[in-house]
Amino acid sequence: MGTNRARTGTSSPWTRTVRAPSIIARPRVPLAPQTAPRPDAGVYRAEQFSFASEAGERVPGVFVKSVRATNRQPAVIFLHGTGSRKEEFLALMRTFADPGFATAAIGARHHGARISPEFGPGNAQYFAAMLETYRTGKGRPYLYDTAWHVMRLVDYLQTRADVDAARI
């Protein structure tokens, strides 16, 4: 992936004013965003992106907006459920892009591109992580991960020159 043209930083005004409960919050790391065009963009500006959510953890995502968009757009965030993946929202993201919304979807931990090869496809890694957290008290269950990753996604979207940071 190439380097994003957007501004980068470790926190935004939004996350400086919204405090995450300690069970959700993680030590902040630089976002270090990366982007690359998607080959299926067609009449949309579509790209793959990723950003650092915490040390050693990158969150992959998809960003879609209309090619007609020339100014900052309000953004809509899409989140998939257990056993699903971010790409399942592409058609809906294009539908929202048509009237002028920028759209973003991220891949949840233990899903899609974030599944370790030794687990193979499916939900085995997700269930193993949940069970490990239950048994040991270590780690963070999926919903806490997702809450933190969405907060970091908002940070990332606020760095983009094509997103209206006040309308995410």
pLDDT of residue 108: 73
| Rounded-to-integer distance, Cα 151 and Cα 31, Å | 12
User: 34-37 and 44-54: which strand pairing?
Assistant: antiparallel
* Packing angle, helices 124-136 and 142-159, rounded to 10: 110
Name the 3-class secondary structure at 94: helix
pLDDT category of residue 117 using cuts at 50, 70 and 90 = low
pLDDT of residue 159: 96
pLDDT of residue 4: 36
- Measuring CA to CA, how many Å separate 85 from each of 45, 145, 161? 20, 15, 26
How far the first Cα of the chain sits from its last, in Å, is 25
Q: Which residue has the higher pLDDT, 40 or 52?
A: 52
Question: Would you state the torsion angle of the CA atoms of residues 5, 11, 16, 19, taken in this order, to the nearest 10 degrees?
Answer: 120
| Rounded-to-integer distance, Cα 116 and Cα 72, Å | 36
pTM for the model stands at 0.76
pLDDT of residue 60: 92
Q: Which residue has the higher pLDDT, 23 or 152?
A: 152
pLDDT category of residue 121 using cuts at 50, 70 and 90 = low
Distance of CA 30 to the CA centre of its chain: 15
Q: Give yes or no for a contact between 102 and 76, defined as CB atoms under 8 angstroms apart.
A: yes
pLDDT category of residue 41 using cuts at 50, 70 and 90 = confident
Segment 86-90 shows an average pLDDT of: 84
For the chain, give the mean pLDDT. 79
| Rounded-to-integer distance, Cα 64 and Cα 100, Å | 10
Give the type of residue at 93. Answer: M
Q: Which residues are CB-neighbours of 33 under 8 A, at least 6 positions away?
A: 4, 6, 8, 49, 50, 51, 156, 159
Q: What is the pLDDT of residues 127-160, one digit of tens each?
A: 666 667 667 776 666 667 788 888 999 999 999 9
